[in-house]
Structure 1
Amino acid sequence: MTYVIYLGAALAEIAGCFAFWAWLRLDKSALWIVPGIGSLCLFAYLLTLVDAEYAGRTYAAYGGIYIASALLWLWAAEDIRPDRWDMLGAAICLLGAAIILWGPRTT
C-alpha cells in the first residue's frame, strides 16, 4: 500500500507543480494555479497516510519515488523519452529509497 500512496503523492505533486509551470512558463491562464494548489494539498495529505514512525524518513524514501515518477511524467506528458542516464539515476534513487524505508533498524 505504501507504493500506491507514494505514487499517488508523486502524481499529485508533479501535477501541482506542472500547473504553476504551465502558468508561468507556458503562458497558460492564472486559473491553472487553482487545481495546482488543490493537487499540492492532496500530495501533502497523502504523505501523512504512509505508515512510518518518522516524517523525515517518509519524505526521504518518497524522494526516490518522486524522481522516477517525474521521469514518467517527462515521457507521458511532455513526450520526451528518458535516456539511459535518467534511468540509471532513477534506479539508484529507488534503491536508496528502499534502503531508507526497509533497512534494518536497531531502535
Structure 2
Amino acid sequence: MNAPGTLAIYIGAALAEIAGCFAVWAWMRQGASALWLVPGLLSLAVFAWLLTLAPSDFAGRAYAAYGGVYIAASLLWLWLIEKQRPDTWDLTGAAICLAGAAVILLAPRAAGG
C-alpha cells in the first residue's frame, strides 16, 4: 500500500480512537449518560480493525508510526471539538512526532524487515 493510503487508514483510526475514548471521558468526567459507551465501544472496535489494515509486517511498527498521526489528530480534536487552541509547544511536539512517524513509515527496509 502506498503512503497516502496508509495515512488515510491512520487518520480514520485516529478519529475512531479519539471519538471512542472521548465517549468514555464524557461519561466518566463530564457526567454524560452511560449510553455514550455504546457508540464509544463501537468506535474503539473500528479503530482496532483499521489498524489491522496498516501495511506492516509487524504490529509494533504499525502502532509506532500511527502514534504520530494520533498525536496530531488529538490536537485537532482539542482545537475543533473542545475549542482549546493548541499552543506553540503542542504544535512543536506534534511536528516532532509526525517526523518520527514518517521515518518509521517510509524508511526503506529489507524484505521481511
* TM-score interval, normalised by the smaller of the two chains: over 0.9
Report the equivalent of 1:101: 105
* CA deviation string 1:69-100 (max 9, x = no partner): 00000001100000111000000000000111
Alignment of 1:78-97 (within 5 A): 78-97=82-101
Report the equivalent of 1:5: 9
**Matched position secondary structure for 1:78:** coil
How far apart are the structure 2 equivalents of 1:51 and 1:41?
19
Structure 1 gap ranges (5+): none
Alignment of 1:37-56 (within 5 A): 37-56=41-60
What is the Cα deviation at residue 50 of structure 1?
A: 1.1
How far apart are the structure 2 equivalents of 1:12 and 1:34?
13
TM-score (norm 2): 0.92
Report the equivalent of 2:18: 14
* CA deviation string 1:45-86 (max 9, x = no partner): 000111111111000000000000000000011000001110
| Range with greater deviation from structure 2 (46-55 or 83-92) | 46-55
Number of residue pairs aligned between Structure 1 and Structure 2: 107
Over the matched positions of the two proteins, sequence identity in percent amounts to 65
After the TM superposition, which segments of 4 or more aligned residues of structure 1 sit over 4 Å from their partners?
Answer: none
CA-atom RMSD in angstroms: 0.8
**Matched position secondary structure for 1:28:** coil
What is the Cα deviation at residue 104 of structure 1?
A: 2.5
